[in-house]
Amino acid sequence: MGSVYCANFDRFIFREAAMHSRRGRRVNVVSIGEVLWDIVGEQEYLGGASFNFSAHLTKLGHAVSFISAVGADPRGRKILQRMDELGVSDRYLRSALFAGGQYFEADALENKSRRLESA
C-alpha cells in the first residue's frame, strides 16, 4: 500500500496562502505531470491525473502551479484553450517543438491495452 506525505503548513502560512478558498484555507500547490486526451469513439476528453488534480483544486479556489508540456500542434493549442476556460494557469506550461504524440488503445472490459502508433 502506498503512503501519502502531507506537510505541516501551519508554520508556513504566507499572506497569499492564508486566504481562504471556497471550502476553507487556501493553499499553494505545485503539480507536475502530463496532460493528455482520452478519445472514446468520436469524443475527446482532456485528462491526465496531474492535470485533473490541478483543475479540481483550481475550481475549489486554491493557487495551483501546474508544470507540464504540450505539443506545438492543434491538440496542444486546444489544451491551452481548455486550460484557460478552466482557469488553470499555463505559466509553467511549455509548448514543446515536437508535434503529435503516442496513441494507445485500451479495453477496460478485457483489462488490456496496446500501442497503436506514434504521430
In the chain the domains, ranked by start, together with CATH numbers, are 17-118 (3.40.1190.30)
**Burial bucket for residue 40 (CB in 10 Å: 0-12, 13-18, 19+):** exposed
Q: How do residues 69-108 score in pLDDT, each as one tens digit?
A: 988 888 889 999 999 999 999 999 888 876 556 666 666 6
Model confidence at 51, in pLDDT bands (50, 70, 90)? very high
Whether the pTM exceeds 0.85: the reply is no
Output the nine-digit C-alpha cell for 80.
Answer: 491551452
Within 10 A of 28 (CB to CB), how many other CB atoms are there? Answer: 13
Model confidence at 18, in pLDDT bands (50, 70, 90)? very low
Identify the CA nearest to 49 among candidates 65, 59, 36: 36
Instruction: Give me the pLDDT at residue 42, please.
Output: 81
